């Protein structure tokens, strides 16, 4: 019987909980790693703030703007660190490898946009002696979560004179916050009769921004006027300037620890800044890798990756072409094609963590779990893998070995049970250029909620796994 037990242990596979597998010293590393992470989340609550923070950190870590090398036509040396910023919304970091770029890159791609509520170009109006902002939500939100909670306003306003004004209201403890009202339960009979997805309509997400009038009985729209007056005082802008603005409503407040044991983090926008941060820090700790190591931090994933700051843009290829041009004597398209065909990518995006409160949405055996480490997701998509990138078994095997050789605790995950829903990431975009790509990220509870929850253990294993991949 003893032999059978041994044999069963040999033949059976089970994913382990990270906390039970790491020693005291590593537990401290896990806890410490989350401190910088929470600050990163607090500083970058929009794609612009996050891109600029990544740029600031990159410069601090010895990265230079790739354009300065292009201008000087400076030959690329192994170990050179460059960044490429795209319109202050997406940024790519490169450490040039010992091998030429033509031989392929090791890329980790994440996204730094998150579901939110954007202001319309003509947002401000007054109604019933209050001032409001009209909005159009961005990405997949559950609208009811955004009512009855403190909200902050972030973004930029470009004035007629071409000045770019940065706006942040609602994050400082002394700041006022914005608010979207909900109907009291006593009067919610009609709302209760609706399906939960229809209880709050898109045009109901009107943000309360003022309630004190300015002017006398002859003044028109006194409540709206007062808001404009205050905006002008603080930012020197007018109503017309709001047309040339990108203003975003996000939940106000900072990232917090969850649970008495502090094992989890709750914060807005962890999809996908948890993968952005862990891959960024991993990249900062790499010196002179064999393959060129690349961190992509992209915009517009939550609305399909279109546009010039999304992953469908030619931006990444344009920058890679410039870098190849600094490595070869006569640039030709063939170098670019070889580079992409030889490239290996971790599409670093979050997955849905199994939630026992909503067990019916998951398939237990193939779900990712909070606390069981970095999650490999072979395919995404929905309804028969529609729209998926299905990673090749050979590449998944490579990644598995990299993780195992580097004591990275990992698991696999699938986004919910078959035909329950689904989703996608940026994985297919680089795969379409023939790179090997697999999704690999942190499992999240309450994904796309105003506050999302992740495990510090998974965050740390993501960092550890991404670093091992970059070195490979």
Q: Which is nearer to Mn ion, 380 or 411 (CB)?
A: 380
Q: Which is nearer to Mn ion, 47 or 271 (CB)?
A: 271
The interface with Mn ion within residues 140-179 (CB under 5 A) comprises none
Strand spans (E) along 344-465: 344-347, 351-352, 374-377, 381-382, 410-412, 422-423, 436-441, 443-444, 452-455
What minimum distance in Å lies between the beta carbon of 110 and Mn ion?
8
The interface with Mn ion within residues 281-300 (CB under 5 A) comprises none
What minimum distance in Å lies between the beta carbon of 104 and Mn ion?
25
What minimum distance in Å lies between the beta carbon of 266 and Mn ion?
17
Residues 235 and 167: beta-carbon distance below 8 Å: yes
Among 47, 349, 436, 439, the residue binding Mn ion under the rule CB under 5 A is 349
- SS3 sequence of 312-330: CCCHHHHHHHHHHHCCCCC
**Residue 206 burial (C-beta neighbours within 10 Å; 0-12, 13-18, 19+):** middle
Q: Which is nearer to Mn ion, 248 or 272 (CB)?
A: 272
Cα 322 to chain center, whole Å?
A: 26
What minimum distance in Å lies between the beta carbon of 114 and Mn ion?
7
Beta strand 64-65 with 207-210: parallel, antiparallel or unpaired? Answer: unpaired
Q: Which is nearer to Mn ion, 272 or 436 (CB)?
A: 272
How many other C-beta atoms are found inside a 10 Å radius of the C-beta of residue 194? 12
Instruction: Candidates 209-217, 345-353, 385-393, 459-467: pick the segment binding Mn ion (CB under 5 A).
Output: 345-353
Q: Does 49 bind Mn ion (CB under 5 A)?
A: no
Instruction: Candidates 21-29, 148-156, 318-326, 348-356: pick the segment binding Mn ion (CB under 5 A).
Output: 348-356
Binding map of Mn ion across residues 264-283, x = CB under 5 A, - = no contact? -------xx-----------
What minimum distance in Å lies between the beta carbon of 160 and Mn ion?
35
Q: Which is nearer to Mn ion, 49 or 271 (CB)?
A: 271
What minimum distance in Å lies between the beta carbon of 424 and Mn ion?
9
What minimum distance in Å lies between the beta carbon of 384 and Mn ion?
21
Q: Which is nearer to Mn ion, 226 or 425 (CB)?
A: 425
What minimum distance in Å lies between the beta carbon of 291 and Mn ion?
25
In the bound state, the residue with its beta carbon closest to Mn ion is: 272
The secondary structure of 138-164 as a DSSP string is ESS--GGGGSSS-EEEEEEEE-TT--E
Q: Which is nearer to Mn ion, 241 or 272 (CB)?
A: 272
- Report the C-alpha gap between 33 and 19 in whole angstroms: 15
Residues 347 and 389: beta-carbon distance below 8 Å: yes
What minimum distance in Å lies between the beta carbon of 444 and Mn ion?
9
SS3 442: coil
Binding map of Mn ion across residues 219-258, x = CB under 5 A, - = no contact? ----------------------------------------
Q: Which is nearer to Mn ion, 336 or 345 (CB)?
A: 345
Instruction: Candidates 25-33, 97-105, 130-138, 341-349: pick the segment binding Mn ion (CB under 5 A).
Output: 341-349
Residues 31 and 459: beta-carbon distance below 8 Å: no
- Give 115-118's long-range contacts (Cβ < 8 A, gap of 24+): 115/139, 115/140, 115/141, 115/271, 115/302, 115/448, 116/46, 116/141, 116/248, 116/249, 116/250, 117/141, 117/146, 117/151, 117/205, 117/207, 117/248, 117/249, 117/250, 118/246, 118/247, 118/248, 118/249
The DSSP symbol for 206 reads P
What minimum distance in Å lies between the beta carbon of 275 and Mn ion?
8
What minimum distance in Å lies between the beta carbon of 98 and Mn ion?
32
* H or E element that contains 282: helix 270-284
Q: Which is nearer to Mn ion, 271 or 414 (CB)?
A: 271
Instruction: Candidates 46-54, 63-71, 347-355, 414-422: pick the segment binding Mn ion (CB under 5 A).
Output: 347-355
Q: Which is nearer to Mn ion, 199 or 350 (CB)?
A: 350
What minimum distance in Å lies between the beta carbon of 202 and Mn ion?
19
HSE, side-chain direction, 13 A CA sphere, residue 188:
13
Q: Which is nearer to Mn ion, 241 or 414 (CB)?
A: 414
* H or E element that contains 190: helix 189-192
- If binding means CB under 5 A, how many residues of this protein chain bind Mn ion? 3
Strand spans (E) along 80-115: 81-86, 90-95, 105-111
Q: Which two tokens stand for residue 278?
A: 């862990």
Per-residue exposure over 110-136, b if at least 16 CB sit within 10 Å of its own CB, e if not: bbbbbbbbbbeeebbebeeebbbbebe
Q: Which is nearer to Mn ion, 349 or 458 (CB)?
A: 349
- List interacting residues with Mn ion (CB under 5 A): 271-272, 349
């Amino acid at each position: 019987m003893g032999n059978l037990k041994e044999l069963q242990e040999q033949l059976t596979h089970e994913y382990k909980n990270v906390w039970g597998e790491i020693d005291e010293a590593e537990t401290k590393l896990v806890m410490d790693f989350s401190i910088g992470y929470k600050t990163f989340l607090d500083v970058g609550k929009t794609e612009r703030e996050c891109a600029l923070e990544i740029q600031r950190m990159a410069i601090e870590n010895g990265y230079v703007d790739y354009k300065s090398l292009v201008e000087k036509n400076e030959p690329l040396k192994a170990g050179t660190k460059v960044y490429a910023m795209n319109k202050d919304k997406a940024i790519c970091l490169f450490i040039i490898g010992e091998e030429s770029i033509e031989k392929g890159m090791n890329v980790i791609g994440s996204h730094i946009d998150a579901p939110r509520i954007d202001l319309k170009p003509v947002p401000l109006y007054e109604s019933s002696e209050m001032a409001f902002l009209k909005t159009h939500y961005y990405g997949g939100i559950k609208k009811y979560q955004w009512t009855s909670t403190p909200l902050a306003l972030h973004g930029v306003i470009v004035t007629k004179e071409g000045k770019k004004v940065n706006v942040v209201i609602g994050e400082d403890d002394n700041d006022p916050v914005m608010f979207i009202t909900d109907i009291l339960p006593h009067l919610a009979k009609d709302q209760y009769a609706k399906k939960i997805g229809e209880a709050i309509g898109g045009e109901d997400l009107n943000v309360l921004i003022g309630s004190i009038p300015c002017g006398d009985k002859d003044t028109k729209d006194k409540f709206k006027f007062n808001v404009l007056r205050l905006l002008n005082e603080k930012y020197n802008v007018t109503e017309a300037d709001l047309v040339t603005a990108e203003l975003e409503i996000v939940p106000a407040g900072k990232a917090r620890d969850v649970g008495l044991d502090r094992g989890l983090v709750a914060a807005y926008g962890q999809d996908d800044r948890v993968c952005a941060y862990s891959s960024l820090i991993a990249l900062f700790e790499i010196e002179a890798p064999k393959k060129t190591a690349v961190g992509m931090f992209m915009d517009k994933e939550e609305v399909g990756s279109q546009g010039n700051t999304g992953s469908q843009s030619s931006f990444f290829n344009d920058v890679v072409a410039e870098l190849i041009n600094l490595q070869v004597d006569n640039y030709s398209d063939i170098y670019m094609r070889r580079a992409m065909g030889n490239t290996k990518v971790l599409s670093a995006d979050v997955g849905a963590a199994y939630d026992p409160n909503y067990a019916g949405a998951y398939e237990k055996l193939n779900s990712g779990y909070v606390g069981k480490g970095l999650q490999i997701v072979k395919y995404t998509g929905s309804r028969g893998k529609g729209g998926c990138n299905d990673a090749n078994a050979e590449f998944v095997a490579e990644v598995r070995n990299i993780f195992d050789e580097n004591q990275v605790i990992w698991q696999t995950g699938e986004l919910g049970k078959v035909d329950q829903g689904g989703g996608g990431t940026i994985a297919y975009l680089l795969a379409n250029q023939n790179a090997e790509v697999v999704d690999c990220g942190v499992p999240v509870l309450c994904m796309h909620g105003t506050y999302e929850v992740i495990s510090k253990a998974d965050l740390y294993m993501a960092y550890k796994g991404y670093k091992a991949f970059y070195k490979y």
